[in-house]
């Protein structure tokens, strides 16, 4: 897997995760929609990114 700088979205207050894997389908959706914000914002790593380390 390819690590990228951590990013998150603030469009869904119930989705309190960040992403750091280039192949993450959820992170890619965030980026595709133009809703990515840099950093972790104190959130936990998404399940997909966690399981693909």
**Separation of first and last alpha carbons in the chain:** 7
Does residue 20 contact residue 3 with C-beta atoms inside 8 Å?
yes
Which pLDDT score is estimated for 42?
96
Written as six digits, the tokens of 36 are 């990515």
**pTM as predicted:** 0.92
The HSE-up count of residue 41 (CA atoms within 13 Å, CB side) is: 14
> 21: part of which helix (H) or strand (E)?
strand 17-21
What is the bridge-based pairing of β-strands 17-21 and 37-38?
Answer: unpaired
Which tens digits make up the pLDDT trace of 37-53? 999 999 999 999 999 98
Domain ranges of the chain: 3-51
């Amino acid at each position: 897997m390819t690590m990228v700088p951590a990013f998150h979205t603030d469009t869904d207050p119930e989705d309190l995760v960040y992403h750091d894997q280039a192949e993450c389908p959820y992170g890619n959706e965030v980026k595709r929609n133009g809703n990515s914000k840099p950093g972790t914002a104190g959130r936990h790593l998404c399940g997909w990114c966690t399981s693909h380390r």
